Chains A and B, each alone.
Chain A
Amino acid sequence: MKKRGLIRQNSPWMEILSRFSRNKLAMLGAIVLLLLILSALFADVLAPYGMDDQDVSQALQGPSAEHWFGTDKFGRDQFSRVLYGGRVSLRVGIVAVAVALVFGGTLGVIAGYVGGKVDSVIMRIMDVLMAVPGMLLAVAIAASLGAGLGNMMIAIGIGNVPGYARITRAAVMSAKGNEYVEAARATGAGNLRIILRHILPNAIAPVIVQATLGVASSITACAMLSFLGLGAAPPTPEWGGMLSTARDYLRTHAYMAIFPGLFIMITVFSLNVMGDGLRDAIDPRLKD
């Protein structure tokens, strides 16, 4: 608090960044997440085996120096598959949130900015979507569209739309009432300009927090749909799909179920603490 006078000279975003960097747990989350992203990006280089290299003579081996996480029934190296699986999970998580952000965000901005009847109609539609728990909606959509990565991203994305619509709407509504918006209008700025230049930058903070946490929940949803057989088609490695296979070997080869789940948990955990840290950094009043 004493440093306030110094920090105030920085831009609001710098201030947020400096508060965020002082939150040890959130920084840990950010570093772990960065490592996970890098390991997924460079899976080709890091993985000791290919993602679908089969060696039946090595089937169902426990963890060893050669196969850190053991092998599955085709003798595929589980460590390599977990690394490659990160690509799928992170991609689905990010794309699903992007889908939800684009649709939910646009609807929320329109509802919050225009207000009146348009607002009621949009929000009633969102109420309908919210009447179905997000996971269930995703399951229903994925089941109807059929298995596959693309369909899964759409399914999870649509399930998330109402959440973003509500948050963006609330943020836009509170930003709309500010005097600088009135001032912008007085200088003759059009609606689109007001929204893009004046309202969005001031309304985006809660949306960013929600998006970070949203990637976490989308990764869980992705694993869940794959676990149900609605995800990526084999042999594409995916954490949820690997767990689904591991289920049949729980009694005899438990290691198969441990590592993919551990990676899901670590990813979701680091995104969650990062999201919490961002929220505290953006709005220090919310911090306990």
Chain B
Amino acid sequence: MAKYICKRLLQMIPVLLGVALIVFTLMYITPSNPANMILGDTATPEQVAALEEELGLNDPFLVQFGNYILGIVTRFDFGTSWFTGKPIVGELLLRFPKTALLAALSVVLSAIIGIVCGVVAATKQYSIFDNLATAISLVGVSMPSFWLALMLCLLFAVKLGWLPVSGSYGWEYWVLPVVTLGTSGAANIMRMTRSSMLEVIRMDYIRTARAKGQSERMVITRHALKNALIPVITVIGIQFGNLLGGSVLVESVFAIPGLGKYGVDAIKQRDLPAVLGSVLFLAVTFSFVNLLTDILYSFIDPRIQTSLGPSRRQKRAAAGKAEEGAA
């Protein structure tokens, strides 16, 4: 297992380097000149030229990219904000816990609701509950998260006055953002759990389990659910990525000072290093979550554990299936 984790960590290096290259290229091709942005309109051409030299903007692309990577690897330096002049990494670390908490709470909420509803819907296929849950989940996946955020605000904060609209001071501030982000996740997870359970329930080993007189509850939890969970876990992993993307909007709607809001504010100020720093930071988080889901696979499916991690083909198959479900 340790060997597998090490191998996966090593595999992450080229992927993250690739992400950094994309992010850096985006920064490189942007039409605005950082020196102008930092100095403002009043700067003389000489000042601009001097700062360009100082920032290394005249170096070839690869040298600049090398320095950017070296800065991140050796000094954990994601660059300096064009707007505040402060190092970005401090701001990112300060805000990361809020985003992580928001995403974690939403994933937990959506996984619980999604799996429970999915299992019940599958075991009682075509019942009222199944139809209702399927209909609600279809609406849930179709609703843009920021609109749901606005509607929840409107209902629970403006009309009913039960919950605060913005900020992050106590638990009550987290209810609406977590529900907003959790909704589409729960809908996706429910759909996947339902279809995966329906597939598993028809297997011979389920019939065997029933035939040997095991209680229905044991059949569902022990035999069916355990086998149905693998594509569901893939979806949960993908959901986490969507949540990180969605947090960008939901944080800014509910004024939660997390990475997403930082990124949005940076977009408005055209503070590119800050935008790309937060994207890179979220991508790194996403990669670790993916690694975590893969490790989780092996706990749930001992067949994978014995071969030290799923083969590429198995994983692709599971991911493909999950994507189909998620889409």
Which residues of A are in contact with B by a Cβ distance under 8 Å?
A: 124-125, 127-129, 131-137, 139-141, 143-146, 163, 166-167, 170, 209-210, 213-214, 216-217, 220, 223-224, 227-230, 240, 243, 246-247, 250-251, 254, 257-258, 261, 264-265, 268-269, 272-273, 275, 279, 288
Which residue of B125, B151, B244, B264 is within 8 Å of A288 (Cβ)?
B125
Query: Is B320 touching A133 in the complex (CB atoms < 8 A)?
Result: no
Give chain A residues whose Cβ lies under 8 Å from the Cβ of B1.
none
Query: Is A127 touching B144 in the complex (CB atoms < 8 A)?
Result: no
In the complex, the 6 A-B pairs of residues with the closest C-beta atoms, listed nearest first: A135-B245, A128-B18, A261-B147, A133-B241, A269-B142, A144-B26
Query: Is B138 touching A273 in the complex (CB atoms < 8 A)?
Result: yes
A146-B31, A261-B150 as given contacts; A140 in contact with B26, CB under 8 Å: yes
Give chain B residues whose Cβ lies under 8 Å from the Cβ of A163.
323
Chain A residue, CB-CB nearest to B271: A143
Nearest chain B CB to A148 CB, angstrom units:
11
Give chain B residues whose Cβ lies under 8 Å from the Cβ of A250.
150, 153-154, 158
A132-B286, A133-B244, A133-B245 as given contacts; A210 in contact with B327, CB under 8 Å: yes
Query: Is B276 touching A223 in the complex (CB atoms < 8 A)?
Result: no
Give chain A residues whose Cβ lies under 8 Å from the Cβ of B252.
228
Query: Is A265 touching B279 in the complex (CB atoms < 8 A)?
Result: no
Q: Is B203 an interface residue (CB 8 A)?
A: no
A243-B147, A261-B144, A265-B144 as given contacts; A227 in contact with B275, CB under 8 Å: no
A217-B327, A265-B147 as given contacts; A133 in contact with B142, CB under 8 Å: no
Give chain B residues whose Cβ lies under 8 Å from the Cβ of A128.
14-15, 18-19, 22
Query: Is A246 touching B150 in the complex (CB atoms < 8 A)?
Result: yes
Query: Is B150 touching A257 in the complex (CB atoms < 8 A)?
Result: yes
Q: Is B120 an interface residue (CB 8 A)?
A: no
Quick one: CB contact mask for B292-327 with A, threshold 8 Å, 1 for yes? 000000000000000000000000100010011001
Query: Is B263 touching A247 in the complex (CB atoms < 8 A)?
Result: no
Chain B residue, CB-CB nearest to A158: B22
Which residue of B142, B242, B279 is within 8 Å of A272 (Cβ)?
B142
A209 to B327 Cα, complex, angstroms: 10
Query: Is B249 touching A228 in the complex (CB atoms < 8 A)?
Result: yes
Q: Is B212 an interface residue (CB 8 A)?
A: no
Determine which residue in B31, B142, B194 has the highest number of CB atoms from chain A within 10 A of its CB, and name it. Answer: B142
A33 to B153 Cα, complex, angstroms: 29
Q: Is B198 an interface residue (CB 8 A)?
A: yes
Q: Is B139 an interface residue (CB 8 A)?
A: yes
Nearest chain A CB to B48 CB, angstrom units:
20
Which residue of A217, A257, A268, A273 is within 8 Å of B154 (Cβ)?
A257
Q: Is B230 an interface residue (CB 8 A)?
A: no
Q: Is B246 an interface residue (CB 8 A)?
A: yes
Chain A residue, CB-CB nearest to B198: A288
Query: Is A265 touching B248 in the complex (CB atoms < 8 A)?
Result: no
Given contacts A167-B320, A265-B143, 17 further A-B contacts (CB under 8 A): A124-B14, A128-B18, A133-B241, A133-B283, A137-B279, A139-B248, A140-B275, A140-B276, A144-B26, A170-B316, A220-B144, A227-B249, A257-B150, A264-B147, A268-B142, A269-B139, A275-B327
Q: Is B195 an interface residue (CB 8 A)?
A: yes
A98 to B286 Cα, complex, angstroms: 27
Query: Is B142 touching A129 in the complex (CB atoms < 8 A)?
Result: no
A272 to B184 Cα, complex, angstroms: 13
Give chain A residues whose Cβ lies under 8 Å from the Cβ of B249.
224, 227-228
A224-B249, A227-B249, A268-B142 as given contacts; A136 in contact with B282, CB under 8 Å: yes
